[in-house]
Amino acid sequence: MYILLIAATGNEIQGATDYFKKKLDAAKNREIEILLTGIGSVSTTYFLTRKIQGRRPDLIIQAGIAGSFGAKKLAELVIVKEDSFADMGAIQDGQFRDIFDLRLADKDALPFCNGLLINPHENLLSLSLLDQVKAVSVNEITTDKTRRDFYKQKYSPVVESMEGAAFHYVCLLETIPFLQIRAVSNYIGERDKTKWKIREAVQALNEKLIGLINSL
């Protein structure tokens, strides 16, 4: 089984990276490769697509930290069932409208389903034993209360990242099984990093990754 483990930055999955480098010889029926895609949707789309053109994985796992809209506590883990490009659109009549509101794209054209990028692999999602949640992906980290409240009202997300929707987009189009795992590092809108729990979130994330991959 060839598993591709990806993250935006190396720090987010350093523990799992170190662990599987040491354990790779023992895992004779499983090969784990690491890919760092860089931050954001564009970088994720390019480097992931380029990677899988050379060799097709049996499973791709994206892991990283995320901001919480309030429903999940700091250092808590989730698995993303649905993701969307939340800030791709335009301001019209004083309101933000996404590409589907503007009828610039068909909300049910592949890989979308009602404007969402939905992971269909129920068995894999259940195997994680994590809460399955809805996420949004943005190019600009949300700091404004009005924008935060708008996302909550329109998309009902639990977490926010900068890469998740791009990851779902590529995997759905390429029909490759996938999982997106996120650890909450901060509450959205809180910019005082002394109140974040990045270290705890990363630790919980890596422990989960090691356990999950070893169970496959």
Tell me the three state secondary structure of residue 200. Answer: helix
Cβ-contact 159, 133 below 8 angstroms: yes
Domain residues of the chain, as ranges?
A: 2-215
Output the pLDDT for position 26.
52
Q: Indicate the pLDDT class of residue 24, thresholds 50, 70 and 90.
A: low
- Looking at per-residue confidence, does 216 or 24 come out higher? 216
Q: Indicate the pLDDT class of residue 94, thresholds 50, 70 and 90.
A: confident
The string of DSSP codes covering 32-99 is: EEEEE--SSHHHHHHHHHHHHHHS--SEEEEEEEEEE-SSS-TT-EEEEEEE-BTT-EEEETTEEEET
Output the pLDDT for position 21.
85
Question: How far is residue 6 CA from its own chain's centroid?
Answer: 10
Output the pLDDT for position 151.
95
CATH number, domain 2-215, options 3.20.20.70, 3.90.1150.10, 3.40.50.1580, 3.40.50.300? 3.40.50.1580
Place of tokens 């809209």: 69
Output the pLDDT for position 93.
87
Output the pLDDT for position 28.
57
Cβ-contact 210, 21 below 8 angstroms: no
Q: Indicate the pLDDT class of residue 16, thresholds 50, 70 and 90.
A: very high
pTM value is 0.95
Distance, in Å, from the CA atom of 192 to the CA atom of 188, rounded to the nearest integer, reads: 11
Residues whose CB falls within 8 Å of the CB of residue 117, separated by 6 or more in sequence, listed in order:
82, 83, 84, 111, 165, 168, 169, 172
